[in-house]
Amino acid sequence: MEKLFYIGIGGAVGTLGRYLITASLVKFSGRAFYIGTLSVNMLGSLVIGFLASLFLRETFLHPGFRLFFITGMLGGFTTFSSLSLETLKLLQEGRYGEAIFYVFLSITGGCTFAAIGWNLASFIPD
């Protein structure tokens, strides 16, 4: 039951964060609807890479932290299902090049940011 608590609270925090960031970016940038999802996915990839690396090294951290941050918060924060739906909308609108670029950028950017986050954790002393 304790595990579900950490995951649920983390998921709520991540979901609210995703909504606020996405809505703000779309509102202030005046850009296409997917700019918020793309930004959230890149940020989430950076943070998950950093935390995954840190949690592997830092055994003193309570196991609930991993559940809260990685499973809960980042699970609620990153939005692959939104990426899928937005790509489908682009394809349905005949915007094939944009759809391909969006998927390519999301995946390569996500992997790149996860690697950057992983490496940033190496700067934290043991």
Number of compact structural domains in the chain: 1
Read off the pTM: 0.80
Mean of pLDDT values over 1-19: 95
**pLDDT digits 0-9 by tens, 65-115:** 989 999 999 999 997 888 898 899 999 999 999 999 999 999 999 999 999
**pLDDT digits 0-9 by tens, 33-60:** 678 889 999 999 999 999 988 888 877 7
pLDDT of residue 125 exceeding 90, the answer is: no
3-state SS class at 1? coil
What's the domain range around 114? 2-123
Distance CA 2, CA 8 (A): 10
Nearest to 18 by CA among 96, 102, 83: 83
